[in-house]
Structure 1
Amino acid sequence: MFVSRWSPIVRVSFGWLGALSLLRLSVLSAKLRTLVRVRLSTRKYPMSTFNGLPAHILLVHFIVVLAPLTAVLVTACAVWPAVRRRLVWLSLVLATVVVILTPITTDAGEWLEKRVGRNPDLNTHAHLGDTFIYFAIGLLIVAALVAVVHVREARSRALPRLLVGMVAVLTIAASVAATVQVYRIGESGSRSVWHDVSGRSARTQADLGDISPK
């Protein structure tokens, strides 16, 4: 009777604690993104090339691999307690790496964007790339929430099943959204490159047609 009387209050309290934790993580992630951008902007030689190649081309492959991998790991940790006990900290580290690499990759992309011909697909790619930081932050937030669930379980103070289920639902939503956004960014980038290649091929064929003997 006593437990049933106080259980709604306990659930509301945990709900407020979860909301406050989510707000704090959002503020921390925003500060982290700002700090990385400030550091990059104050560097005398920003990361533009690596070993003679545009750094964006190399960095974007890290995002393409790490973001979906992190999404799968975080989702597995949120759904299966056995996986959570073994891989929760790895997923949190990978989510942090994705957040750190995202502004570095977009800044390198802006450097490359100024040196290639613009087209509608490139504009779409740049816009989608600029928005991915929010998906990366969302992935980091749910990874942190899953870590909180793990810590509470390890201390024999497990959260109510309702809250654990809510964390799992949020994790699945954030993971799917981040993975889909990575696909959209990669597709628009590929279309941009193909648009440039096909345009050059058409111009070359036209030039050859002009100089061919008649």
Structure 2
Amino acid sequence: MGPTLINGIPGHVLFVHIAVVLVPLTALALLVCAAWPQQARRFGLALPVLAAVTLVSVPITTHAGEWLKHHVANDPLVRQHAELGDGLLPWTVGLFALAVALWWMQRRTGAASQADPAAVDEEARPGARARGALRAAAVVLSLVLGAGAVVQTYRIGDSGAQAAWHDNFSTTRTPETGSR
């Protein structure tokens, strides 16, 4: 599915940074576009593209992580990290699906306002209440999906740091070697 080693370094430790940045960024962009339709028009196709890149980054990262899991000592913290990592994909699928839905709704309402320039006022157009209800639902969904994805990303990252760093450092400062 993707490289497991990059320049001699396990790919997982590099790919993880993509997901750690893109998941919260996608969640924030999704919330902004759901709450403010004018921002959704500005984002345009960039929102679903961002969500797609985020979605694709997760299985690439987990694939590289599975490889790494089989190349380190058997550790319960590593197993816990891997299990948590498997739980991020459904959240990013939800972010992507909502991003596509918002983009599609924005295109439809944008096309309708261009077809009827006299109906510039959103409240005056037919179906304004339904659009308002859909927007409210989109805001709530983006909050739920975004918060879930970000919290899951945090939990995965924390467990990965625990797995990587437990017993791998000293709590006391080590003496410096060499002279300056």
**Band of TM-score, shorter chain:** 0.7 to 0.9
The number of residue pairs the alignment matches comes to 156
The answer to whether the Cα contact below 8 Å between 1:77 and 1:83 also exists between their aligned partners in 2 is yes
What is aligned with 1:112? 68
Corresponding residue for residue 150 of structure 1? 106
Matched, 1:137 2:108: no
CA contact (8 A) 1:74 1:88 kept: no
Corresponding position of 2:141:
170
Say whether the 8 Å CA contact 2:47–2:103 is kept in structure 1.
no
Provide the rounded CA distance (Å) in 2 between the counterparts of 1:165 and 1:79: 8
Q: Secondary structure at the match of 2:87?
A: helix
> Which residue, 79, 87, 97 being the options, matches 2:53?
97
Q: Report matched runs for 1:1-214 at 5 Å.
A: 40=1, 47-156=3-112, 160-198=131-169
Q: Give the AA of the match of 1:95.
A: A
Unaligned stretches of 5+ residues in structure 1: 1-39, 41-45, 203-214
Pair 110,64 (structure 1): closer, same or farther in 2 beyond 3 Å: same
The separation in 2 between residues aligned to 1:62 and 1:122, in whole angstroms, is 20
CA contact (8 A) 1:49 1:55 kept: yes
Map Cα deviations across residues 103-156 of structure 1 (whole Å, 9 max, x no partner). Answer: 111110011111112322211110011111111101101111211221121122
For structure 2, list consecutive stretches of 5 or more residues without a partner in the other structure: 114-126, 172-180
| TM-score normalised by L of structure 2 | 0.80
Structure-1 separation of matches of 2:104 and 2:144:
18
Deviations 1:44-83 (A, max 9, x none): xx51101111110110000000110111011100001221
In structure 2, C-alpha distance between the alignment counterparts of 1:64 and 1:179, rounded to whole Å: 9
Question: Which TM-score applies when normalising by structure 1?
Answer: 0.68
- Deviation of residue 101 (structure 1)? 1.5
Task: Determine the C-alpha separation between the residues in 2 that align with 1:79 and 1:160.
Answer: 12
Give the conservation status (yes or no) of the 8 Å contact 2:51–2:96: yes
The residue type equivalent to 1:174 in the other structure is L
Name the amino acid aligned to 1:175: G
Look up the equivalent residue of 2:162 and give its one-letter code: R
Q: Percent identity?
A: 38
- Contact 1:88/1:146 (CA < 8 Å) preserved in 2? no
The one of the two structures with greater contact order (alpha-carbon pairs below 8 A, sep at least 6) is: 2
- Structure 1's consecutive aligned runs of 4 or more residues displaced over 2 angstroms after TM superposition are 157-160
Tell me, yes or no, if the aligned pair for 2:44 and 2:103 is still in contact at 8 Å.
Answer: yes
